[in-house]
């Protein structure tokens, strides 16, 4: 294990304290089918000495059983745990693995490359700081490579490592590496990446993953792990305080707390906050956690607030600082990744869930959809499975949000089918829209209830407006 073993032996508490304070990096692996994503993660775990002996024995046994690598040790099985994944030698669902080095801790998400499971890839990418986009050196840039790159860009990932894999299959040819590198650079010119690195690797053989490759001495750069250890993502994180209430805790007459996870920024006891949408001000009376009260809390911490004043706060409300208030609107534009076989339709009512707040809404207009091969914008009247487009949304009441590029936590939302309760789309909010510039459709309480009632008894009427 790539940790300070001498400190573990001499002072385990000191080691745990050092480990606790390490920086955390969330990493995504993506790319086309069979580019070696699962094998790469297996190689990182294996060469970092993060695999226990019983795991090794089980993988050796399963490698022979499923025979996906001619009975050789199959590192991909460390990640692909589903029976169907092991039988077919593919990744279907997102798998999360944890490992650490002396520099930082990692949570790495292995996502599927098949177009059928693009929605799973988008789910995995939504929380990551960095993406490793794999490219098979034998095939170069594929359609899924472009689609996954575009989704990573839209989901706000600023740092990417382009890992050109299976260099052993092309005899470690430098010209192949340079050609693919140039091809990807030309494609990614208009993507919103701030930091793009390239590294030639062989996940199967271990070249340039953790250890430097003797077969590619022509490559002057760092290994993949060194790049992961040194990339800086702190400046990407928003500092404005955002807290979305998930639950109101009222165990007795003497306590009323507001539970949730801090989306961004930090807060101290005594700080003034505004509750939205009511706009009422109060001061933080206490910050309560399972381990006791704190004087300060920061992004990522699950806490319970109590306020100095009796303010009406419900699930879905947001607490912010008075001088750092977010947008509040019932009309906004957003990029949408559509995730279901049934197309997104204009004027069909969906549940729009922004953070912990759910409202009814519909797509007022589809501005365009994007061709992932050329990144060209095309006219569209609907979005099909795995298509990505820019849409106008109208919802029944104002919601509080930031632009996704400013704050990924408060600028994201999901689209839920009202009839099946299935998540059908994921959205990234762009701009607030002037309600006068979009089609004026005012929801009444009667209309909302009537639409729900009719669709319950006449589901074949589906997306049509009833009243």
Give tens-digit pLDDT for 280-339.
999 999 999 988 999 999 998 999 999 999 999 999 999 999 999 999 999 999 999 998
HSE value, Cβ hemisphere, 13 Å, CA-based, for 112: 20
Over the Cα atoms of the chain, what is R_g?
A: 24
What residues contact residue 233 under an 8 Å CB cut-off, 6+ apart? 25, 129, 130, 158, 159
Instruction: Tell me the torsion sign for CA atoms 107, 214, 59, 6.
Output: negative
E strand segments, 301-387: 302-307, 318-320, 327-338, 344-345, 349-354, 357-370, 377-378, 382-383
Are the C-beta atoms of 184 and 162 separated by less than 8 Å? yes
- Mean pLDDT over 196-200 rounds to 96
Are the C-beta atoms of 113 and 9 separated by less than 8 Å? no
Alpha helices by DSSP H, listed for 155-277, are: 174-187, 224-230
Q: Angle 143-154/118-125 helices, nearest 10 degrees? A: 40
Q: What are the tens digits of pLDDT across the range 401-423?
A: 999 988 998 999 999 999 899 99
Predicted structure pTM score? 0.77
Are the C-beta atoms of 399 and 330 separated by less than 8 Å? yes
Place of tokens 């190689």: 43
Instruction: Tell me the torsion sign for CA atoms 168, 171, 173, 176.
Output: negative
> Distance of CA 363 to CAs 15, 238, 366, 372, 463, Å?
52, 28, 7, 22, 11
CA separation for the pair 6, 98 (Å, rounded): 22
Q: What are the tens digits of pLDDT across the range 4-25?
A: 555 555 666 666 666 667 888 9
How many Å is the maximal CA-CA distance in the chain? Answer: 73
Check whether the bond before 285 is cis (ω within 30° of 0): no
Count of helices and strands (H, E) across the chain:
10, 25
Distance of CA 345 to the CA centre of its chain: 25
3 band by pLDDT with thresholds 50, 70 and 90: very low
Q: What are the tens digits of pLDDT across the range 45-68?
A: 877 776 656 566 666 666 556 555
SS3 call for 388 = strand
Are the C-beta atoms of 203 and 75 separated by less than 8 Å? yes
Query: In the prediction, which pLDDT does 259 show?
Result: 96
43 band by pLDDT with thresholds 50, 70 and 90: confident
What residues contact residue 461 under an 8 Å CB cut-off, 6+ apart? 454, 455
Residue 441 has pLDDT above 60, yes or no: no
Burial 423-432 (b: 16+ CB within 10 A, else e): bbbbbbbbee
Nearest-5° Cα angle at 37, 36 to 39: 65
E strand segments, 247-342: 247-252, 255-264, 266-268, 272-276, 280-289, 292-294, 296-298, 302-307, 318-320, 327-338
CA separation for the pair 259, 319 (Å, rounded): 11
Residue 451 has pLDDT above 90, yes or no: no
CA separation for the pair 245, 316 (Å, rounded): 5
Residue 81 has pLDDT above 90, yes or no: no
Q: What are the tens digits of pLDDT across the range 163-180?
A: 999 999 999 999 999 999
């Amino acid at each position: 294990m790539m940790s300070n073993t001498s400190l573990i032996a001499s002072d385990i508490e000191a080691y745990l304290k050092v480990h606790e304070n390490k920086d955390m990096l969330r990493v995504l692996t993506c790319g086309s089918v069979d580019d070696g994503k699962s094998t790469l993660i297996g190689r990182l775990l294996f060469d970092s000495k993060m695999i226990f002996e019983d795991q090794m024995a089980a993988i050796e046994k399963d490698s022979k059983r499923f025979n996906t690598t001619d009975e050789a040790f199959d590192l991909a099985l460390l990640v692909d745990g589903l029976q169907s994944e092991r039988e077919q030698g593919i990744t279907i669902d997102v798998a999360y693995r944890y490992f650490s080095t002396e520099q930082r801790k990692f949570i790495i998400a292995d996502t599927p490359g098949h177009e059928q499971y693009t929605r799973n890839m988008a789910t995995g990418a939504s929380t990551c700081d960095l993406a490793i986009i794999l490219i098979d050196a034998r095939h170069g840039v594929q359609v899924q490579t472009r689609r996954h790159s575009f989704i990573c860009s839209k989901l706000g990932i600023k740092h990417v490592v382009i890992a050109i894999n299976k260099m052993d299959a092309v005899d470690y040819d430098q010209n192949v590496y340079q050609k693919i590198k140039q091809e990807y650079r030309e494609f990614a010119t208009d993507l919103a990446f701030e930091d793009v690195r390239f590294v030639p690797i062989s996940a199967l053989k271990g070249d340039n993953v953790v250890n430097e490759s003797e077969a590619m001495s022509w490559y002057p750069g760092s290994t993949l792990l060194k790049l992961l250890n040194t990339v800086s993502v702190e400046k990407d994180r928003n500092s404005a305080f955002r807290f979305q209430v998930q639950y109101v805790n009222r165990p007795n007459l003497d306590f009323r707390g507001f539970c949730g996870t801090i989306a961004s920024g930090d807060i101290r006891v005594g700080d003034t906050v505004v509750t939205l949408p009511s706009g009422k001000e109060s001061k933080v009376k206490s910050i309560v956690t399972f381990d006791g009260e704190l004087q300060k809390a920061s992004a990522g911490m699950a806490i319970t607030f109590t306020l100095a004043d009796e303010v009406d706060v419900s699930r879905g409300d947001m607490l912010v600082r008075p001088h750092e208030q977010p947008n509040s609107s019932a009309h906004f534009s957003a990029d949408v990744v559509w995730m279901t076989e049934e197309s997104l339709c204009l004027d069909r009512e969906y549940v729009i869930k922004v953070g912990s707040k759910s409202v009814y809404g519909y797509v007022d207009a589809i501005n365009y959809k994007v061709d992932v091969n050329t990144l060209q914008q095309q006219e569209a009247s609907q979005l099909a499975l795995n298509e990505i487009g820019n849409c106008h949304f109208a919802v029944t009441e104002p919601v509080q949000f930031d632009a996704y590029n400013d704050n990924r936590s408060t600028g994201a939302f999901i689209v839920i089918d009202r009839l099946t309760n299935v998540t059908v789309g994921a959205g990234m909010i762009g701009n607030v829209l002037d309600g006068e510039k979009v089609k004026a459709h005012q929801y009444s309480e009667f209309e909302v209830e009537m639409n729900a009632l009719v669709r319950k008894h006449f589901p074949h009427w589906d997306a049509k407006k009833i009243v």
